Amino acid sequence: MSFFEVIDPVFATYVLGNAPVKRLATGFDWVEGPVWFGDAGCLLFSDIPNNRIVRYTPGEGVTTYRQPSNYANGHTRDRQGRLISCEHGTRRVTRREWDGTVTVIADRYQGKRLNSPNDVVVAADGGIWFTDPHYGIMSDYEGYRAEQELPCNVYRVDPDGTLEAVITDMNCPNGLAFSPDESLLYVADTGRMFSADPRHIRVHPMRDGRPGEGRLFHAIEPGCADGFRVDTDGNLWSSAADGVHCIAPDGHLMGKILVPELVSNVCFGGRAKQQLFITATTSLYGLTLNRSGVQRP
């Protein structure tokens, strides 16, 4: 069997024919939010319904990193390497300081509670960008069912703490990432829960540090772009229902990594940033690519 489906012949050079897609750990309920710690040689990711963050160390396996996790979902690291987390349960974005204390980055906008921050990235200027769909408050599965107080926006937190809604016309923004030079912002709209909303990735040109008007970039089929990361040439590696799809900067599908479970998120890691870690329903998968991911810091 092949682990890959080549659609554009160039994709055959992105993968290694003898590098398997391996299931690294399993037994979770719904995993998301992988983030690589090269300094600690480990990956953290969320097992959301079990209210915990799991640590995977290659060669050693998994341990519980934090429980309860406030139903944390997406994670990233800021420019100082600190862990930034989106928490459904507390409806906030937090930063874990070097001494272990927790700083709240954002929990309200214009006096109203955020919905359930989902995914987060940090730009070169230290701005923290996150999506705030309603998925974590629509049921008691991935957080606590609650009334929605705000539309589902994309926010930016300035290093001075100012919170600004920067994209306000999506149904449910979810995954997001910058192009390698940060001239473009990609954001997925995965639609309101229990709806037939369209699901697609939008691209926004960045102007003076803010997103300009967006346009349709790519619609994942089958599935949706819950999460994605970018390689050094600007290809998007996105979740899909049948695995991970690689999408070129011009928006065409290059090829697929086939994964036997529904994929949620991905991230690059490892010594050469060529390991792609894939969170997929009950399991963590990984493989070595012939591409390097953009990793900040």
Per CB under 5 A, residues contacting Mg ion are 118-119, 174, 226-227
Q: C-beta of 59: minimal distance to Mg ion in Å?
A: 28
Q: Given CA atoms 240, 196, 120, 116 in this order, what sign does their dihedral have? A: negative
DSSP code for 289: B
Based on its alpha-carbon atoms, the radius of gyration of the chain, rounded to whole angstroms, reads 18
Q: In this structure, are residues 86 and 54 in contact, taking their beta carbons and an 8 Å threshold?
A: no
Q: C-beta of 24: minimal distance to Mg ion in Å?
A: 20
Q: C-beta of 174: minimal distance to Mg ion in Å?
A: 5
The residue with tokens 């209210």 is: 51
Which is nearest to 116 in space by CA: 192, 219, 169, 214?
192
The two three-digit tokens of residue 146, written as one number: 């609650």
Q: C-beta of 190: minimal distance to Mg ion in Å?
A: 8
When the beta carbons of 51 and 174 are compared against Mg ion, the nearer one is 174
When the beta carbons of 119 and 142 are compared against Mg ion, the nearer one is 119
Q: In this structure, are residues 234 and 186 in contact, taking their beta carbons and an 8 Å threshold?
A: no
Q: C-beta of 60: minimal distance to Mg ion in Å?
A: 27
When the beta carbons of 118 and 171 are compared against Mg ion, the nearer one is 118
Which is nearest to 253 in space by CA: 11, 2, 4, 3?
11
Buried b / exposed e over 107-130, threshold 16 CB at 10 Å, is eebeeebbbbbbbbbbbeeebbbb
When the beta carbons of 47 and 119 are compared against Mg ion, the nearer one is 119
When the beta carbons of 15 and 53 are compared against Mg ion, the nearer one is 53
